[in-house]
Amino acid sequence: MKNEEILAGLKNAVERGSTLDEAAKSFINAGYNPLDVKEAVNAMTSGGAFPLTSQKEQPQKTQLPIKENGIVVPKPEKPSSTSGKLVLLIVLLLILVAGGIVSLIFRDKIIGLFG
């Protein structure tokens, strides 16, 4: 699992213009096991699961951002949309207003039921 993560990160770094050596060093500097990184580099150079391709050949769908120091960092998840909550609150407000209007119109009948 960790090798797959390293392979994907190395491939991403190379596609963004880094050399394979620079990308490998950044993973080692980030605390990854040097043997795992070396295995991933070997898998890439021998045409393993992640062969090197240029960006022109295969457009990227998702990219991991790279910090200035070269460490690959996953994108944070988007916070939940507040528009759905806003619509729900508006609908509830409309129901309450409609209930208030109906109770004002039929207040005599409502009071007659309880009195």
Same domain, yes or no: 71 and 18? yes
Same domain, yes or no: 23 and 69? yes
Residue with tokens 């096991």: 33
Same domain, yes or no: 55 and 25? yes
Number of folded domains in the chain?
2
Instruction: Spell 88-99 as b/e; 16+ CB within 10 A means b.
Output: eeeeeeeeeeee
Same domain, yes or no: 20 and 67? yes
Q: What is the pLDDT of residues 6-37, one digit of tens each?
A: 888 888 888 888 888 898 998 899 889 899 88
Instruction: Please name which of 34, 31, 41, 48 lies closest in space to residue 10, comparing C-alpha atoms.
Output: 41
Claim: this prediction has a pTM higher than 0.85: no
Q: What is the pLDDT of residues 72-86, one digit of tens each?
A: 666 666 666 678 889
